[in-house]
Amino acid sequence: MVNTIACGVRTLDLSRPRIMGILNVTPDSFSDGGHLYRDGRVDTDALLARAEQMVAEGADILDVGGESTRPGAAPVSETEELDRVATAVEALAQHCDTIISVDTSTPKVMSESARCGAGLLNDVRGFKRPRALQVAAETGLALCVMHMQGEPDTMQTAPAYTDVMHDVSEFLSQRLADVSAVGIDLGRVIIDPGFGFGKTAEQNFELLARLRELCNQGQPVLVGLSRKSMISSVLDRPPEQRLVASVALALMAVERGARIVRVHDVAATFDALSMWQTIRHTLSQSQQP
């Protein structure tokens, strides 16, 4: 298993679980759209204040997204996404001493983000757009390759699998082969099963229940479960009232081997993971001869 990943000029230590804080510079993301993007532009003051708060609360990575990928989301033009993301990454790189991730599928956004100071490229489409893999290779940055069935505007229209864990694993294995074929060292690649992306609630819960199968395959696993609609299939809660359930799911994922959790609520997740790590340390100490 990879224990450290070079993310641009910084190194991500995965000897313990890490927290990725979500910074959506969009007007329409499902939970926090419009918080950091107002009046047709990125609110850099609000962005930096939120980023500083997340780092203080325990975020190890800040993940910037300029295109909503919620179910049914409309596509964003390359120009608009580039303007949103480049503005945000440049501001963050100048003010925050932490790894900056960019949530994008657009090759031009990838290359410009690398120039502005990003350290990780996080693609919900698994780098399947034309030239995405080649451009990602040219940046030299770390990658997160995610599984999604379909596209955001159609992905929740009757998603179907023969065996959801097998099918997701097969997709990711093929993408890792494709990544390796363009010369990218798998030692800088993270994988993500894509909770909520072309999957029913039942399929999401099965993926989580069986997550160790994916975590045992050699690549670090990132999960994004925060405030997802799978929670509402069990609890009738709007996104802003899914904190406790989100933290519980993050803990379940870490218990099953996930190394990175992508979250909206950094402080609560940090506290929960700190308790988990303390118990792990206590147990390991008690088992020493």
Give catalytic residue positions: 228, 262
Nearest to 18 by CA among 218, 249, 261: 261
The DSSP symbol for 221 reads B
Q: Which two tokens stand for residue 289?
A: 């001869």
Separation of CA 92 from chain center:
18
Q: Which two tokens stand for residue 267?
A: 């402080």
Q: Decide if 11 contacts 4 (C-beta within 8 A).
A: yes
What's the sign of the alpha-carbon dihedral 225, 31, 63, 134?
positive
Q: Decide if 99 contacts 12 (C-beta within 8 A).
A: yes
What is the rounded (10 degree) CA torsion for 262, 266, 270, 272? Answer: -80
